[in-house]
Structure 1
Amino acid sequence: MPASSDPNLAGLLSATADGDQEAFAELYDLTSARVHGLVVRVLRDVAQAEEVTQEVYLQVWRSAGRFDAHRGSALSWLLTLGHRRAIDRVRSAQSQSDRDQAYESRADRPTPDPTAEAVEDRLQGQGVRSAVKELGPPHQEALELAYFEGLTHQEVSERLGVPLGTAKTRIRDGLRKLRDQTGGAR
């Protein structure tokens, strides 16, 4: 489309804003190929591009009065409308895809069985308690006080009658031995 016909497009938009169907048809004939081409380049899907191009011209019919020739050319306004609609379609498709993936990931998970989980937790707890008992008195006492009774390092130190550093060392060394004993990863 030659640049000299752009002022004519502004007139056609103005007439379209007044409800002139012939002006709208001529505007469509002069610009639809460019708008559709831009939309196809953004969407990369001809069928969707046709829908979006149709939406753009419906928007033009409804809001041609919003065109302001002082802010830019009529063609750039039409191309901007097309580009924005195409980007909106891409974002909408991506959002739908994200929602579908999130749904599928939730749907693939088995329904939790609270009874089985409670049994598993109890068995794991019994296994940990048995492993702690096998550590021996200094580490066993420190870990039981810290983790089973919930005491702080300072409280463990006071309860065992040992310096704070010794209590921390017993807890740390006890955890290392426990990890090695149970085959835990570092």
Structure 2
Amino acid sequence: MRNPTDGELMRLIREGQQHALTELYDRHAKLVYSIAYRIAGNEPLAREAVQLVYTRLWTTKADYDASKGVFSSWLITITRNITIDVLRCERRHRSIVPIVDANVAATGDGAPEEALERSDRQSAIATASRSLSTPQRRVIDLLYWKGYTLKEIAEMGGEPVGTVKNRLHQALKTLRRHLQGLKEER
């Protein structure tokens, strides 16, 4: 029996035949992992990207078209995009600063002075964020907490990118001004 081509395997995957995905994995897993590792720079993120690549191949409705290029190039593009998404997600999670609830003092975790200081900081941040306009809060939320780019935010709002950049600049300036006292206390 002859080996099916990558294109034929993708057609079988669309039909829900799991053995086709297994064979595709066996053929290309080393390539996918090496690309993901080179982009991510560490093993756990590369492994996550590999898993997402093959999950995407199994679930996507997009089909590989052999007339547009070789399968490995198509797969490398998918791997690159997914690995970049994994990195963005990781960066967002790393950049999130947990705001400790005021209940920390009541639970007895940490020194009472530290809990009070955290509570004061949390209160100052909440007060500073209330000084922002609704569009400014939206830009901060979408950019820093949800990981959208300035261009994507502009497209969502049907606004020029320059408007969104200006709104972000003004929001950061306002937050900096309100939180300046918090920084000086340290």
TM normalised by structure 2 equals: 0.48
Q: Which structure carries more helix by proportion?
A: 1
Which protein is bigger by CA-based radius of gyration?
1
